[in-house]
Amino acid sequence: MWEKERRSVATVFATHGAVSGTFASRLPWISDHLHLSAGKLGIALLMSSIGAITTMPFAGRAVARYGTRLTARVLIAAFLVVDVLTPWMPSLLALMGCTLLAGAAGGTSDMAMNAQGILVEKRLGRSIMSGLHGSWSTGVLIAALFGSLAAREHLDARVHFAIAGAILSVVMVWGTQGFHTSATDVGLVEDDSESVPLFVIPRGVILLIGLVGFCGIYAEVAAQDWSSVYMHRALHGGEAEAAFTTGMFAFTMAAGRLSGDAVVGRLGATTTVRACGVLGALGGVLVVVAQGPVPAVIGFMLIGVGVSVVVPLAFAAAGHAGPSPTMGVAGVATIAYGAGMAAPGMIGGIADLTSLRVAFCAVAVLAGMVALGGGLLGRNAPTAVHGVPGPRAVEAEALATEG
C-alpha cells in the first residue's frame, strides 16, 4: 500500500517540477515577447518568491484543515492555470502579477506534497525524501527538454503551455488519488498551525548552517531561472539551445538528489558537501568564461551536481544542531527564503548594470563558500539517514521551502 503511495507522491513531485520547468525553459520567449531587459525580468522572477513567502503561513493551516489531497489538487491546479496564462501577459506589470500568483500557488502546494511525503516516509520506515525531490528535478528535466523541442520547432509558447497544462492536469489528478484525505489523522500536521513559528531569527551554529544553505539555494535558483536566458543573451544561442541548457542543469541536479543518500552514506556528509561545492564553483567559473554553448552547458551541469545535496543536508544538520528540530529548521528556513528572494533580482540587477557574465560570478563564489562549509554540515548531519523517520521527517518539513 505505502509503496504505491510513494509512487503517487513521486508523480505529484514530478508534475510540480514540470510546471516550473515549462516556465523556465521558455523564459527567453517570454522576455523577448515583452522586450524585457535582464533587470525587468529579474523583478518579474522576484515576485514569485514574494508570492511564496507571503502565503506560506497559510499552507500548514490548509493542510491541517482540508488534508493533503484536496490542498495539493486545488493549489497545483491553480499553479497550472497561472502557468498557462503566463505567456499571454501583455506587459511587465501583468507578468509580475502572474508570477506572484504562481509563487503563491507553487509554494503552498509544495508544502502539501511534502507533508504527504513525510507521512509515506514514516510509514515505509526508510528514507524517500531525497528521491522525491529527485523526482521534482526529473519533472523539470522532462519539461525543459520538451521546451527545447517546442522552441526548435518554433512553437508559440502560448500553444506549448496550453498543451503542457492539459497533460499535466491529468497526471496531477491521477497522482493525488493516492494522497490521504487528512494529514492530521496521523499526527503529521498539528491542528494548531500557529504553534510552530514560520520565521525564526537564527543564531550561533544555526546561523552558520543557514549561510551555507543560503549559498546553495542562491546558486540553484540562479541557475534554474537564468540558465536559458544566459544561453540566449550572453552566448546568443537559439531558444532551443536555451531550453536544453535548463534541462541539462535539471538532469545533473536530479541525478545528484536521486543518488544523494547513497553517496553521503559512502563518503560522509563533509566530503560530499566539499566535493559538491568545488564542482559547483568550477561550473560557475566555466559558465562565466565560456565563449560557446558547449562549455556553458557543461558549467551549468556542474552547478546542478554542486547544489543537489547541499540544501537537504543543511536542513537535516539544522534539525540536529538547534535547541529543537523545529526551531533549528525554522531558523535555516528564514535564511533560505532570503536566498530564494535575492537570487532572481540580484542576477537581473547586476546584469543590467554590467553583464550576465559578471552576475554569474556570484554563483561561482557562493558555490565555493559551500565547499568551505562542508565540515560544519558534516559535524551536525545525522549519522544515519536510512530507516530513521525522525531526522528525515525534519528534513522533509524544511524541504517544503525548496522547489
Q: How many domains does the chain have?
A: 1
pLDDT band at 36 (very low <50, low <70, confident <90, very high): very high
Q: Is pLDDT of 115 > 80?
A: no
Report whether 304 contacts 314 (CB < 8 A): no
Dihedral sign, Cα of residue 123, residue 124, residue 125, residue 126: negative
Alpha carbons 75 and 179: distance in angstroms, whole number: 14
Beta strands in 216-351 (DSSP E): none
Q: Which three cell numbers stand for residue 239?
A: 531558444
Alpha carbons 186 and 199: distance in angstroms, whole number: 25
pTM more than 0.95: no
- Which CATH number goes with the domain that contains 89? 1.20.1250.20
**pLDDT tens digit sequence for 271-299:** 888 999 999 999 999 999 999 999 999 99
Q: Is pLDDT of 191 > 50?
A: no
**pLDDT tens digit sequence for 169-184:** 999 999 888 776 554 5
| Lowest-confidence pick of 97-111, 258-272, 281-295 | 258-272
Q: Please, is 46 exposed, middle or buried when counting C-beta atoms within 10 Å of its C-beta (0-12, 13-18, 19+)?
A: buried
Write down the mean pLDDT value for the chain.
Answer: 82
pLDDT of residue 199: 54
Count of CB atoms within 10 A of residue 166's CB?
A: 11
Residue ranges making up the domain that contains 140: 2-188+197-399
